[in-house]
């Protein structure tokens, strides 16, 4: 059934892109309610994980995975044991008049991190701008080690949704300040421009260590802040250094020292930006990076069977579809340069992975992972 859903969805998107079919929404065709009574999710699993690796491939939908499948050779997502589909809409507007089906990374990041719908632009606050507790904060409470890895600035919307609380995602300097005073144990990525020397000094004064090279030796008894670029990190096809996989290895080598398990969110941030740019080359490079990351993480999970690996996206970007071009080449088409409301896949392996073998709302991912952490 799961493969039929994915196939059916792919056929629909293909038809949309080929024929330009635009479906008009009736006003009474509302987004399902916050209670998600029409969504199905499996019963409580027999095993629950000790540790969780949560990969978010920003902006990655069926079209991006199809492009990866036909252009990169090896297709690492096929190694996952379970697959489902995810609806990503925000809670933004009154559906009796107007409402939004298309999310941004703040609203979707909050849905994934805290299991709660909110408005576009929000970072781990509800629709009334009240902070909501995230799974990373639940993990801290359970004495697990925690980490954030991103190829954007580390204060960008998706990573921020796990460890900060602001009413608008562009407040990256405030997000950096909150990180320093949070319990996150390791943070790796780009965005040094949001971290003045005084803030880094404060981090170091609070049992932290700052690095600018991934080869740096660290004290595993101190927190780690690694910033490897002034702004976002380089594109994957422009020889990003360190790579996403290298940062993941560094983070896991640090986090696995926890007796109580760990939680880490790893974001392959820039697939989304390839969609915004309508650049197939950009997307292919980021998907190759994601493929390498998946292979490494699943190899790690096989050696550490108490670890759950979950891969999903906050939303799709670009309305990507794949067609035959001339001389055997691929013809990549885009319907927009922004996010879409298209469903995104979820992939999972490890203890508790079977609950994601379903169609679900993105908040259900957050709520289930929080339950795993709490139990």
Instruction: List, by residue number, the catalytic residues.
Output: 105
Concatenate the DSSP letters of all residues of 183-221 into one string.
---EEEEE-GGG--HHHHHHHHHTTEEEESSTT----TT
The CA distances from residue 112 to 34, 89, 107, 276, in Å, are: 14, 12, 9, 22
What's the first-to-final CA gap in the chain, in angstroms?
Answer: 30
Closest listed residue to residue 92, CA positions, set 124, 126, 63: 126
How many CB atoms within 10 Å of residue 19?
8
In sequence order, which residues have a C-beta less than 8 Å from that of residue 294 and are 6 or more positions away? Answer: 55, 76, 77, 79, 311
Q: How far apart are CA 271 and CA 68, in angstroms?
A: 11
In sequence order, which residues have a C-beta less than 8 Å from that of residue 359 and are 6 or more positions away? Answer: 5, 39, 40, 84, 85, 86, 87, 343
Q: Are strands 344-349 and 307-312 parallel, antiparallel or unpaired?
A: antiparallel
Q: How far apart are CA 70 and CA 68, in angstroms?
A: 6
Cβ pair 106, 122 in contact under 8 A: yes
Read off the tokens for 354: 């079977």
Q: How far apart are CA 320 and CA 334, in angstroms?
A: 5
């Amino acid at each position: 059934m799961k493969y039929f859903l994915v196939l059916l969805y792919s056929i629909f998107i293909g038809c949309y892109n080929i024929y330009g079919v635009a479906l008009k929404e009736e006003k009474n065709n509302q987004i399902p309610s916050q209670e998600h009574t029409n969504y199905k999710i499996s019963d409580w699993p027999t095993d629950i994980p000790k540790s969780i690796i949560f990969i978010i491939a920003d902006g990655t939908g069926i079209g991006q995975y199809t492009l990866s499948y036909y252009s990169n050779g090896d297709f690492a997502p096929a190694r996952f044991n379970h697959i489902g589909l995810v609806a990503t809409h925000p809670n933004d507007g009154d559906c009796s008049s107007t409402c939004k089906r298309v999310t941004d990374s703040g609203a979707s990041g909050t849905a994934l991190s805290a299991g709660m719908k909110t408005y576009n632009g929000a970072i781990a606050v509800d629709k009334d701008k009240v902070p909501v507790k995230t799974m990373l904060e639940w993990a801290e409470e359970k004495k697990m080690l925690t980490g954030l890895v991103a190829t954007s600035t580390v204060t960008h919307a998706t990573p921020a949704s796990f460890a900060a609380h602001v009413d608008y995602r562009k407040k990256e300097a405030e997000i950096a300040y909150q990180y320093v005073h949070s319990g996150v144990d390791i943070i790796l990525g780009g965005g040094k421009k949001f971290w003045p020397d005084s803030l880094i000094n404060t981090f170091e004064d609070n049992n932290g260590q700052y690095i600018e090279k991934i080869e740096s030796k660290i004290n595993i008894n101190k927190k780690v802040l690694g910033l490897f670029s002034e702004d976002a990190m380089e594109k994957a096809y422009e020889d990003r250094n360190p790579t996403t996989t290298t940062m993941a290895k560094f983070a896991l080598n640090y986090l696995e020292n926890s007796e109580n398990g760990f939680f880490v969110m790893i974001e392959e941030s820039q697939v989304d930006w390839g969609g915004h740019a309508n650049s197939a080359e950009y997307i292919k490079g980021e998907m190759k990076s994601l493929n390498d990351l998946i292979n490494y993480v699943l190899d790690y999970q096989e050696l550490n069977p108490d670890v759950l690996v979950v891969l999903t996206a906050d939303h799709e970007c670009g309305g990507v579809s794949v067609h035959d071009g001339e001389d055997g080449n691929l013809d990549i088409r885009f319907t927009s340069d922004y996010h879409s409301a298209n469903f995104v896949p979820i992939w999972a392996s490890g203890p508790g992975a079977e609950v994601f073998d379903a169609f679900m709302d993105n908040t259900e991912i957050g709520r289930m992972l929080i339950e795993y952490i709490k139990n």
